Amino acid sequence: MKNIVVYWSGTGNTEGIANLIAQDVNADIKFVGDASIEEVLTYDTIILGCPAMGAEELEDVLFKPFYEELIIKVSSQRIFLFGSYDWGDGEWMRQWADDVLAHGVTLTHDGLIVNGDTSAIDDFKYNDFIFEINK
């Protein structure tokens, strides 16, 4: 399986999580601004990371346009979502997961959300997330 992590990060929290995931699943990693749709579609597993922004939504300058173009072109790839937040209850992740499903794409696992940086990762949820990617 060929894995890629594509992420956007403003404060570095999501970038730290992206690096940890990429290391633990032997994935290539790209900042969203450095990734092309065509390249990402060559991978078997696409792991997307974006923190909650504003009123719990995806970053809308780089990440959301990339995601919107990608999701309509995904075919057999496995999709995983992750991100960080500082407040709220994870609404952005639920909405993001619903959007993936609304496009008819299989979401392989519940999104991994982290309240802060890598030190705030719930080990049980993280290990389950990594296990599913490595399946």
Note down pLDDT in tens along the chain; length 135 residues: 899 999 999 999 999 999 999 999 999 999 999 999 999 999 999 999 999 998 789 999 999 999 999 999 998 899 999 999 988 888 999 999 999 999 999 898 999 999 999 999 999 999 999 999 999
Kindly report the pTM of this predicted structure: 0.96
Q: Which amino acid is at 104?
A: G
Please say whether the beta carbons of 35 and 48 come within 8 A: no
CB 66 within 8 A of CB 39: no
